[in-house]
Chain A
Amino acid sequence: MTTLTEPPVATAAAEHGSREPGRRKPTASDLVVVLAVLAVVALGLTTDRFVTVANAKAIVTSASLVGIAALGLTLVMIGGSAVSLAISQTVAAVGMIFLSAQSLGLVPALVLAIVGGAAITALQGAVVGYAAANPVVLTIAASFAITGIATGVSGGSSVSASGRGYDHLNATPGGLALSVYVLIALVVVVEWVLRRTRFGRTLYLVGENRPAARAAGMAVGRTTAVAWAIAGALFAVTAAFTAAFNTSANVNLGGTLTFDAIAAVLAGGTPISGGRGSAVRTLAGAVLIAAVSDILLLRGYSTGVQVMVKGLIVLFVVVIVHVRTKGRHA
């Protein structure tokens, strides 16, 4: 699936090698990548009950919620705004909005949640885009503000659903969670937006070189704000599914989602510096992390080991992607 739209890895490495035959050895990193992939595949094949339909469903289901939020973060990262550290808090607040609006019906509640998530996040994106504010500091500030307001409004207690409409989001058509279909549809849409629209191409340029994009007369501020707005809408989709699954929401609903989403984007090979990356890569990253966690779970390793390996995967991919792309973008 990933080979359809990604630049083939081998060609990229060959280009790299021919242009800069200097001190780095692309063949070495090629070998490392091939060995790593083979090792994961071998581990999976030799793991009892890994190659079953039920297990594949479990993997994609566990990847879906993080994956949707990570898609949003992908746009933020491609646009050169590094990361948002307010994802968990946004998801928690939007989840609370979603559940308390259930009395209006599912669709209005969903619309309200998505508009809310997009607005909260677009506001941050506008400050980052127009004023070149530091996204890390700004989103830390936003995370405090969102949690503070959410706690103040809710009185610190959990919000439970005011209707039963949310239950439709827990449906499993064809035996697969609805969130999986939504994830796949959103990957297609986001990938299309990134590759085929003017906005998408501008976003890559803004992320690659902000001063140049500005000098070229591009709408740097607007492009960034729109990217963050879409990201916020995607965080809201994750929030709706998470809240529907938990049937109640409080300020801790987001859990460790911020770092899980960043891990998925980075594990897909999107560099934090911006200008590169794709929706399909992020999907691959989310599935990779879910699959490896699943292998470890089936082999009886504790949650701690699963989390540790997740960190090591991210570290490995970050280093490999950096080493492989450095020459081409120097």
Chain B
Amino acid sequence: MRLSSLTRPESLVPLVALGTTVVAFALLPAYTDSGIASFDVYNTFQIFARLGLVALALGLTMIAGEFDLSVVGTYALGGMLAVQAGQDSWATGVLVAVGAGAAIGLVQGLVIAGLKIPSMPVTLATYIALLGLTSSLSDGLSKTYSNASVTLWVDQTVLTFFSPRSLITLGLFGVAALVLGVSRWGRELRAIGGDRRASRVAGVRVDRLVVGTFVASGVLSALGGALLSFSLGSANPDPGVQPLILAAAAALLGGVSLAGGRGTPIGLLGGMLAVALLAEVVTVAALPAYVTQLFYAALLVVIVVIDAPDLRNGLVRARTRLRPPAPTAPSTRNDTGALHA
């Protein structure tokens, strides 16, 4: 019991990840000449805003026990649509992008929930198709966004540390935390991620929730893409694989499990902030980029070890074998042991 509450990964993992990176950030003056400027904090939130919504989208589907690989496809498409439809009015651009994101999420959710297909191959296919669609919309070229006042507005400094873009991103994390914390959706989302059959029996409307999660994921990713395009003043048809890998790393560092049933939006926020802080530390300290890569690798290996069931069981077995008066409690899982007691 004590062990399980200490190592509860949905709070421990983001705390450790965020803690490590905050310490690294606070130590910045030790290895650079200048102190920490408020600009560094602003910049961290800008990096956070760049990928935050994609990480939130991916993380929400992971909590529900799915894995939406298409987020980066929707992100690219949303950015492209926002630029192409929003040349005159940013609102039209955002609406078109978000509408497309919602439609993509709806179709994927219906296919996955309706046919009970594993989401990874479906969303992988959608990811490839969406990248192709985005590229064919722009003939494979970047599209410039000529509405400079919008570009200036989304990145202007607000309250020293923020920009409208990072505040919108933070706000959406807050909305997600509030909705999942207050309503029963939060519990139900974790329930369908943990044991879908049991939650169906318990009266959770599983299919509806899965479809809703994918719609939310599509909307968030498309909005993230639109904000990025406005900020850069252009839309890039091929964001590459890096955003997906970083968003997945952020979600995992946020305490979400790929097995599903675990995680909160606040944890995701912590994980994403850790990724952003690390990127900022590396930039300011002018560390070679491969240090970041190795750092991510190390963090993810720790997560893998925490999450690997057979390894954990093996460790628990080894520990119980070491103690001479072996208790009668089953050595498999702490939580089932607690249920029996």
Which of B84-92, B114-122, B198-206, B264-272 forms contacts with chain A? B114-122
B126 → chain A closest CB, angstroms: 7
The answer to whether A142 and B133 touch across the interface, beta carbons within 8 angstroms, is: no
The answer to whether A141 and B311 touch across the interface, beta carbons within 8 angstroms, is: no
Query: Cβ of B288 < 8 Å from any Cβ of A?
Result: yes
B308 → chain A closest CB, angstroms: 4
The answer to whether A147 and B290 touch across the interface, beta carbons within 8 angstroms, is: yes
Q: Which of A134, A145, A151, A310 contacts B132 (CB 8 A)?
A: A310
Query: Measured between alpha carbons, how far is A149 from B288 in the docked complex, in Å?
Result: 12
Residue of A nearest to B131 (CB): A307
The answer to whether A319 and B241 touch across the interface, beta carbons within 8 angstroms, is: no
Which of B158-166, B222-230, B297-305, B321-329 forms contacts with chain A? B297-305
Q: Which of B125, B139, B288 contacts A266 (CB 8 A)?
A: B125
Categorize the interface residue count of chain A: 35 or more
The answer to whether A134 and B300 touch across the interface, beta carbons within 8 angstroms, is: no
Interface centre among A152, A309, A310, A315, by most B CB within 10 Å? A315
Interfacial residues of chain B within 130-168, with CB under 8 A of chain A in the complex: 130-140
Q: Which of B124, B127, B136 contacts A302 (CB 8 A)?
A: B136
The answer to whether A140 and B305 touch across the interface, beta carbons within 8 angstroms, is: no
Query: Measured between alpha carbons, how far is A310 from B129 in the docked complex, in Å?
Result: 7
Residues 226-267 of chain B: 1 if any A CB is under 8 Å from the residue's CB, otherwise 0? 000000000001000100010011001000001100000000
The answer to whether A272 and B128 touch across the interface, beta carbons within 8 angstroms, is: no
Query: Measured between alpha carbons, how far is A144 from B248 in the docked complex, in Å?
Result: 12
A149 → chain B closest CB, angstroms: 7
The answer to whether B296 and A137 touch across the interface, beta carbons within 8 angstroms, is: no
Query: Cβ of B289 < 8 Å from any Cβ of A?
Result: yes
Query: With A137-B252, A259-B127 in contact, is A132–B293 under 8 Å at CB?
Result: no
Q: Which of B116, B128, B137, B294 contacts A144 (CB 8 A)?
A: B294
Q: Helix, strand, loop or mixed for chain B's interface?
A: helix
Query: Cβ of A305 < 8 Å from any Cβ of B?
Result: yes
Query: Measured between alpha carbons, how far is A259 from B244 in the docked complex, in Å?
Result: 12
Query: Cβ of A213 < 8 Å from any Cβ of B?
Result: no
A92 → chain B closest CB, angstroms: 12
Interfacial residues of chain A within 185-203, with CB under 8 A of chain B in the complex: none
The answer to whether A308 and B133 touch across the interface, beta carbons within 8 angstroms, is: yes
What are the residues of chain A within 8 A of B136 when measuring CB–CB?
A: 302, 304-305, 308
Query: Measured between alpha carbons, how far is A156 from B290 in the docked complex, in Å?
Result: 9
What are the residues of chain B within 8 A of A151 when measuring CB–CB?
A: 288-290, 293
Query: Measured between alpha carbons, how far is A263 from B135 in the docked complex, in Å?
Result: 18
Residues 309-323 of chain A: 1 if any B CB is under 8 Å from the residue's CB, otherwise 0? 111101100110011
What are the residues of chain A within 8 A of B124 when measuring CB–CB?
A: 259, 262-263, 266, 314
The answer to whether B120 and A83 touch across the interface, beta carbons within 8 angstroms, is: yes
The answer to whether A315 and B307 touch across the interface, beta carbons within 8 angstroms, is: no
6 pairs, A vs B, C-beta closer than 8 Å: A130-B310, A137-B252, A137-B307, A148-B291, A302-B136, A318-B122
With A149-B294, A156-B289, A311-B129 already in contact, 15 other A-B pairs whose C-beta atoms are closer than 8 Å: A88-B241, A131-B305, A133-B308, A136-B67, A141-B301, A142-B297, A143-B245, A156-B290, A259-B124, A266-B124, A304-B133, A308-B136, A310-B128, A311-B126, A311-B130
Contact surface of B with A, Cβ cutoff 8 Å: 67, 111, 115-118, 120-122, 124-140, 237, 241, 245, 248-249, 252, 258-259, 288-294, 296-297, 300-301, 303-305, 307-311, 314
Contact surface of A with B, Cβ cutoff 8 Å: 82-83, 85, 88, 127, 130-134, 136-138, 140-145, 147-149, 151-152, 156, 256, 258-259, 262-263, 266, 271-273, 302-312, 314-315, 318-319, 322-323, 326
